[in-house]
Amino acid sequence: MNEANLAELADLTELLGRWASGRGPLYLLLAARLRDLIDDGLLPPGAALPPDRVLARGLAVARGTVVAAYDLLQQEGRVVRRRGSGTRVAAADLPATRATNEVGSNPLLSHILHPPDGVTLLTCAAPDEPPPLLAEAFRQAVSLLPARDLGYHPAGHPALRAAIAAYYDGRGLPTDPSQIMVTTGAQQAITLLTDLLVGPGDVVQTESPTYPGALEVFRHGAAVIRPGLDPGERPALIYVIPTASNPAGGIMDTAARRRLAAAATEHDVPLIDDEVCAELCFSGPTPPPLASFTAGEQVITIASLSKLVWGGLRVGWIRAAAPLVSRLARLRAVHDLGGDVLSQLAAVSVLSRLPEVRQERVETLRHRHDHLLSRLRARLPSWEVSPALGGQNVWVRLPRGDADTFAQVALRHGVAIPPGRSFDPLGGHADHLRLHFLFRPDELTAAIDALAQAWEAYDGSRHPASRHTLIV
């Protein structure tokens, strides 16, 4: 090893610091520290990382530890590994904006951080049209502002906590305001729960496919993500979307809900029931939360108003046992003294008109869902797609080829689509993609026409779907 390589290794070793001091497998701890260095810009885009053997010797670990850490970072799109060129930090305009063709990357986050110009975004599934009642709700909120109040409410404004508790009471799940914590959207709810309940190397069980934003949080916490729901294996956490699931729009039946809630209680495993889209079922009443099927405190419910009302209304919440809510509030106060009070007071008004809000949104979504499926059958009849039972998305299977490669072709035709691997804990579902139906019918028609042109230009036979089995 020459002197330059020794110096570079010494510099990286110093940056890594006490990377192995946490809990869990060494490769996850190493990947977590390297991830932080990359995202913080301390390892800039294009920077060369030491070869596997060199870094392993320098850290006094097995070479397999470094290989597994590098492979995990490659799956996330943070590094690029090429034979003969070594391992380098992936190029990006921002640390979190990775190219959408990297396995395991999250195009949703990428396009929020760095939206491409002139591209129809079928990646970000959130309403982009604030309903008229939202402006009225904010006008009412202004009139409710107290004369004297610090405005710091880490667990949420008392009025909104009471309104959310009453909402669950109305759904047959008795709830006290002390069991409610208001968050800045459901994404913060997942992050806080993960920070509190999951350590490096801990196992998190999820469905497959599932919401990629949750997978990003679990990966950031250096968790081992496993598809499949088996509380008997005693994971640190289970995460499910039983109602209007993302990405398929499915609904878990009552018997499965009862079994899952009972198993989590029996094995004392925390279970997150993500109800962000629960009020968007196309027919029948909203199914009961999983917490309705157990007297135990293991089932945690999260939800938000971002899908029901507007993505910019960053109001979400956690329903859990009161002691857990207190711990979460203390954790949040370290980073964030509380959400925007005016938005929370507006949310109180929105919840008071929930049946009206829900009916209007569901009618709009059902109509756009049917239009999307009609256009897909007309323009792309070889694509396999099942109708959704609720939510905002459909799950599409391509007849051939690789969804990541096709996504790049689609992008050149002006449409951004999220490939299936973004939704799979193991990087599978390479032949699937997700489409949302939030746009107006004319916009959906234009998007499907562009996808049809992209599909005609794409030769899937040259790009067989990859099969990745790396557990992250």
Tens digits of residue pLDDT in 418-427: 999 889 988 8
DSSP for 131-158? Answer: -HHHHHHHHHHHHH--SS-----TT--H
Distance CA(215)–CA(406), nearest Å, equals 23
Quick one: tokens of 322?
Answer: 């009161």
DSSP for 366-414? Answer: HHHHHHHHHHHHHH-TTSEE---SBSSEEEEE-SSS-HHHHHHHHHHTT
**225-228 own/partner pairs: CB under 8 Å, 24+ apart:** 225/425, 225/426, 225/471, 225/472, 226/425, 226/471, 227/424, 227/425, 227/426
Local structure of residue 465 (DSSP, 8 states): P
What is the band of 15 on the pLDDT scale with cuts at 50, 70, 90? confident
What is the band of 323 on the pLDDT scale with cuts at 50, 70, 90? very high
Over residues 81-102, mean pLDDT: 61
Residues 6+ apart with CB under 8 A from 71: 81, 470
pLDDT (0 to 100) of residue 233: 87
Asked whether residue 23 carries a pLDDT value surpassing 80, the answer given is no
Residues of the chain with pLDDT > 70: what percent? 90
Q: Please, are residues 164 and 180 in contact by the beta-carbon 8 Å criterion?
A: yes
DSSP H or E stretch at residue 189: helix 185-197
Beta-carbon count within 10 A of 363 CB: 11
For 224-250, the pLDDT digits (tens) are 899 999 988 899 999 999 999 999 999
pLDDT (0 to 100) of residue 22: 72
Closest CA to 12 of 45, 50, 39, 46: 50
Q: Please, are residues 451 and 380 in contact by the beta-carbon 8 Å criterion?
A: yes
**Do you find a cis peptide bond into 158, omega within 30 degrees of 0?**
no
Quick one: tokens of 394?
Answer: 């459909």
DSSP H or E stretch at residue 333: helix 322-335
What is the band of 99 on the pLDDT scale with cuts at 50, 70, 90? very low
Residues 6+ apart with CB under 8 A from 95: 38, 39, 40, 41
Greater confidence, 121 or 299?
299
pLDDT (0 to 100) of residue 112: 64
Q: Please, are residues 419 and 395 in contact by the beta-carbon 8 Å criterion?
A: no
Over residues 95-120, mean pLDDT: 55
pLDDT (0 to 100) of residue 272: 98
Q: Please, are residues 296 and 307 in contact by the beta-carbon 8 Å criterion?
A: no
For 125-153, the pLDDT digits (tens) are 888 888 889 999 999 999 888 888 888 99
For 274-301, the pLDDT digits (tens) are 999 999 999 999 999 999 999 999 999 9
Distance CA(37)–CA(27), nearest Å, equals 15
What is the band of 325 on the pLDDT scale with cuts at 50, 70, 90? very high
Asked whether residue 93 carries a pLDDT value surpassing 80, the answer given is no
Distance CA(75)–CA(468), nearest Å, equals 10
- pTM of the predicted model, to two decimals? 0.81
Buried b / exposed e along 150-171 (16+ C-beta atoms within 10 A): eeebbbbbebbbbbbbebbeeb
**Do you find a cis peptide bond into 441, omega within 30 degrees of 0?**
no
DSSP H or E stretch at residue 159: helix 158-170
Instruction: Using only the alpha carbons of the chain, give its radius of gyration.
Output: 23
pLDDT (0 to 100) of residue 161: 98
Asked whether residue 446 carries a pLDDT value surpassing 60, the answer given is yes
Place of tokens 């499926």: 373
What is the band of 94 on the pLDDT scale with cuts at 50, 70, 90? very low
Asked whether residue 98 carries a pLDDT value surpassing 90, the answer given is no
Buried b / exposed e along 52-89 (16+ C-beta atoms within 10 A): bebbbebbebeeebbbbbbbbbbbbbbbbbeeeebbbb
